[in-house]
A = this chain, B = another copy of it.
Amino acid sequence: MSHTQALCRFLAELSYAQLPDNVLARAEDLYLDWLASALASKGAHPITLFERYAQKMGPSRGPAQVIVSGGSSSAYFAALVNAAASHLVEQDDLHNSSVLHPATVVFPAALAAAQDLGKSGRALLLASVAGYEAGIRIGEFMGRSHYRIFHTTATVGTLAAAVAVGKLLDFNQEQFINLLGTAGTQAAGLWEFLRDAADSKQLHTAKAAADGLLAAYLTADGLTGARNILEGDQGLAAGMSSDATPAKLSAELGSRWALLETSFKFHASCRHTHPAADALLEVMQRNGLRAEQIAHVQTRVHQGAIDVLGRVNVPTSVHQAKFSMGTVLGLLAVHGKAGLTEFHECALSDPAVWAFRDKVSMTLDPEVDRAYPQRWLGRVTVTTVDGRTLHGAIDEPKGDPGNTLSRVELADKFRRLTQFSGARTPAEADALIEKVWNLRHAASLADWL
């Protein structure tokens, strides 16, 4: 049995009864965190473009809800818009060793299909776990070389979303094999947009969720796909990776729950900035430093951070500022926080943040790079104005599994994000939080929102 076949057998056989309670609870946490990210982008560019496109090309209403607008459409367009929406504010979750953002692709596809099919909260949770477990392993399989050029959340995200919908459709092993083929041959998404501050990141998650859903619905109706899309000579790894590891596809299925390793984002920036951000906060707090006492910050990072962040020198948009190491550290040093409000009010317009930005450099650190992507180590060397050299180090950024957010912190983040965009009043936010904590008891997700 190939690794792909073993993975597909696991996905077909996975049952709700098999899910440990901490996996179910964390899946609800991740779902709440995803919903917060989606609601936070209400009314923002380019999400309104996707809403208009769905209105033009899709039915005027349908069984699946469009979170940001409050309207509805077919499952395909709801997945498209909701996935575009949930990756915009850079607050959605991340799995470290796969460098995959699972929530923004898995939940939009799963929710849209669950609503279309009239499925329960339990079915949604089971499907989402399947999407996480498969997507994370496929991301790990594709390796670091893939992420250097390709946006893994776009490429591998297509397969993760497809698996979640396939599970809602009760696929057997054979259907999952065809599904991976049909999803995998649609996998796309290049990092090139980043240096131009272009809108492709939202397009990537939108298309991954929608294409994954399309793959599952067509597979259910009988479309066949390549049987070895991951490992084959003309497959995904052959075309888009030079360091793929097939054994990772089937490692520890059913014993290791990769979903539990997923990190929540605390700062509203690219996750590659978080280890250094937390290390800077650590050294500033320990030494009682203020921003104006700092002459230079050398962040010592993994190569992946340089690949993604290295193109952004002077950010020209709020979204691009989230990929500027200097801006993120500047917000934290000057304002103590790098949340949505700080980004929108200060990232581009506060001279103190600009000034700090120019004091920050990035260099490759061999120790940090060796640990990556399994561990995202934070290391900074701070030179003070009065000539001292201080070192900051953290081994688990805030939000990592060993340093995770509590339900109180997650609820607080949900309130902040939904109020930031005006998508929900505080009372509405609290009601929705309560609803998520009871997701596993929802008999049907139709009109759930």
Contact = CB atoms under 8 A, between A and B. Distances in A.
Contacts of A253: none
A191 interface: yes
A194 B232 CA distance: 11
A239 interface: yes
A257 interface: no
A228 B59 contact: no
Contacts of A75: 57
**Stoichiometry, copies per complex:** 2
B49 A222 contact: yes
Given A53-B221, A221-B52, A188 B190 contact: no
Contact residues on A (Cβ < 8 Å of other chain), bracket: 35 or more
A207 interface: yes
Nearest to A59: B59
A295 interface: no
Interface stretch (A178-186, A344-352, A384-392, A421-429): A178-186
B235 A192 contact: yes
Given A75-B57, A217-B53, A200 B188 contact: no
Contacts of A185: 154, 188-190, 192-193, 200, 203-204
A10 interface: no
A46 to B, nearest CB: 5
A192 B231 CA distance: 10
Given A199-B224, A224-B199, A239-B149, A229 B192 contact: yes
A306 interface: no
Interface string A231-247: 01111101110000000
A199 B226 CA distance: 8
Nearest to A221: B49
Contact of A190 (B76, B178, B226): B226
A441 interface: no
Contacts of A43: none
Interface in A42-68: 45-46, 49-50, 52-53, 56-60
B49 A223 contact: yes
Nearest to A158: B188
A143 interface: no
A259 to B, nearest CB: 26
Contacts of A191: 234
Contacts of A355: none
Given A193-B185, A200-B185, A53 B218 contact: yes
A272 to B, nearest CB: 15
A270 B253 CA distance: 41
A326 interface: no
A222 B192 contact: no
Interface string A185-216: 11111111111111110011001000100100
A266 interface: no
In this complex, which of A178, A181, A193, A196 has the most chain B Cβ atoms within 10 angstroms of its Cβ?
A193
Contact of A239 (B178, B190, B217): B190
A150 B196 contact: no
A200 B218 contact: no
B45 A57 contact: no
A218 B50 CA distance: 8
A240 to B, nearest CB: 7
A181 B194 contact: no
Contacts of A207: 186, 211
A9 interface: no
A74 B53 contact: no
Contacts of A198: 178, 181-182, 224-227
11 contacts: A45-B222, A57-B77, A58-B58, A150-B239, A181-B200, A184-B192, A185-B192, A188-B188, A193-B225, A200-B225, A203-B218
6 shortest interchain CB distances as A-B pairs: A188-B188, A191-B234, A192-B226, A149-B239, A193-B226, A57-B76
Given A193-B225, A198-B224, 20 more contacts: A46-B224, A49-B222, A53-B221, A57-B74, A57-B75, A57-B76, A59-B59, A59-B60, A154-B185, A178-B198, A181-B192, A181-B193, A190-B229, A190-B238, A192-B233, A192-B238, A196-B226, A198-B226, A199-B223, A239-B240
